[in-house]
Amino acid sequence: MRFENASVFEMGLTFSLLMLLLVFPFNLSAQSSVQQERLTFVRLTGEQYRNSIRDIFGESIKVRGDAVSAGVREAGLTALGDRRLTLSSSEVESFEVLALDIASQVLEPSRRTTLIPCEPDNQNSVDNECASEFISSVGLHLFRRPLAQDEIEGFKSMASAATNSFGSFYVGLQAALVGMMVSPDFLFRTERSSPNPEAPGLRQLDAWSIASRLSFFLWNTTPSVSLLKAAESGELLFEEGLNKQVDRMMSSPRVEDGLRAFFSDMLAFDRFNTLDIDPTLYPKFTKSVEDEAREQTLRTIAYHLLDQESDYRDIFDSRKTFLTPALAALYGVPIPIRQEMGGRVPWVPYEFPDGHVRAGLLGQATFLSLFSHPGASSPTLRGKAVREHLLCQTIPPPPGDVDFSLVRDTDNPEFRTARDRLSEHRNNPTCAGCHTLMDPIGLALEVFDASGVYRTTENGALINTSGEWLGKAYKDVRELTTLLKEDPTLTSCLVQRAYNYGTARVPTTAEVQWLNVTHSQLRSEGVNWRNLIQRISKNPDFYTVPENLPVEN
């Protein structure tokens, strides 16, 4: 049943805003009502919000919109920035509208028998027992913990008020459901912790928070029924019980959802939200190609790291990938398939020929377009991306008075290539320090334009892709990739990023030591993704919060 008129919508909005005012300040306080318990928060991403709704209410419920604004990247990940985010008034209103639509779908007559655990004695009046059962059942999954009795009473009062006003029990449940869905306890992963006597300076998460951290790390969604039962029984508080759940979840195909979410963050896919490659200059790079390029990268990573269980380093020079007809046209290679009119986009496995210049992630349109300007490739942006996103290094922003005119002047006959134009910055003492780190990497990729199309010349001049990496010379991107794979910084960055992503924080000194040991072992054994996240998920420190972690924004 839908809220049919503005007055009902306004009632829900007003009540939900009131709930936020009452609950939000309480939850952001340093201490909860439980002695020595502390709360910290991580805002759900848009994808985690959609996944949670799907897993709680089923595939048939559609999330028509996205109320989550772009996150803030901190220490290389938006996952860390999400720990510092709150909600603006406009975002609250957007979540309200989204919740109203979702709740109306959940409470539709055709779904009531499967999504509501009881039936009221009278559909036109209050039924406190059935309302309590619904609120407790749904609330457990929305809040990822059991609701306290005063919370149940509060949402039950909301349901009763709406039922009395509109003469419908199901409108009452809808009002209560909207209230729960705009609560910070749903929109944020609320982590409850208490002092850990065995590790001074660290606080131990409770079982429900452990379930959430594990589930969002491995599956990028809310805890399953099995995981919530393990939290309720206390099983997650013991090594054997935790390891059992980790092994169970690792054996599920849903672990690919967690992998995709992590690499989307690590590789800065949020830049797709503002990507603006000029279609007049690059007609092959359409919006559909942009979407398919992103999917190509994720499919390739999942294939190598999960299906083949390859070494992480192999994704940088592997010739095996997946293509659609449009991507094949962009890359200038044939694939034996055609898309039927109105049919789904066909994906086919493809292996570039031996010695082909386009191999690995750096040769895919995703990386090449994300780190380009709308109308031109950018060696500096691409080199900076390799340093920051793949090697965990920090490149400071350019000084405010830098003159970019020469770099952007593509009509000067004396500076026909990007290498020529960037020489000014590399020869300028103010700029040389950073550009010496970035430009050689990006110049090796100049054989690909802003859309990822291969080329050998720029403005009629042959493109020089040679350079030097850690004292070793290379002549093209293939040789650069070989040197990059040999650099331990590449794999140590992966280990660090994965841990930071799962905990949504930077590691403590002791955790850094554990990460270094883990990285050393993986370098010799093989940097296997499943092995890495299994080690992280079974590490007790993964389920802790430092005492000095901020609790307020």
Structural domain boundaries of the chain? Answer: 6-195, 261-486
Residues 6+ apart with CB under 8 A from 198: none
Asked if residues 449 and 282 have their Cβ atoms less than 8 Å apart, the reply is yes
Q: What whole-number distance in Å separates Cα of residue 495 and Cα of residue 527?
A: 9
Pairing type for strands 467-469 and 38-43 reads: unpaired
- Would you call 90 exposed, middle or buried from its count of C-beta atoms within 10 A (0-12, 13-18, 19+)? exposed
Query: What is the predicted pLDDT for the residue at 28?
Result: 34
Instruction: Give the residue with greater pLDDT, 17 vs 489.
Output: 489
User: pLDDT by residue (tens digit) across 98-126?
Assistant: 999 999 999 999 999 899 999 999 999 99
Q: Is the pLDDT of residue 27 over 50?
A: no
- Which of the four pLDDT bands, split at 50, 70 and 90, describes residue 258? very high
Percent over 70 (pLDDT), the chain: 86
Percent over 90 (pLDDT), the chain: 74
User: Mean pLDDT lowest for which of 10-14, 35-39, 388-392, 431-435?
Assistant: 10-14
The number of beta carbons lying within 10 Å of the beta carbon of residue 523 is 15
- Would you call 5 exposed, middle or buried from its count of C-beta atoms within 10 A (0-12, 13-18, 19+)? exposed
Q: What whole-number distance in Å separates Cα of residue 430 and Cα of residue 313?
A: 34
User: Mean pLDDT lowest for which of 50-64, 308-322, 391-405?
Assistant: 391-405
- Which of the four pLDDT bands, split at 50, 70 and 90, describes residue 552? very low
Mean of pLDDT over the chain: 88
Q: Helix, strand, coil shares of the chain as percentages rounded to 5?
A: 55, 10, 35
Query: What is the predicted pLDDT for the residue at 408?
Result: 54
Q: How far apart are the two ends of the chain, measured CA to CA in Å? A: 38
Asked if residues 39 and 551 have their Cβ atoms less than 8 Å apart, the reply is yes
Q: Which amino acid is at 528?
A: N
- Hunting for tokens 């898309």 — which residue is that? 339
- Which of the four pLDDT bands, split at 50, 70 and 90, describes residue 90? confident
Q: What whole-number distance in Å separates Cα of residue 250 and Cα of residue 227?
A: 13
Asked if residues 316 and 481 have their Cβ atoms less than 8 Å apart, the reply is yes
Q: Is the pLDDT of residue 280 over 60?
A: yes
Q: What whole-number distance in Å separates Cα of residue 322 and Cα of residue 324?
A: 7
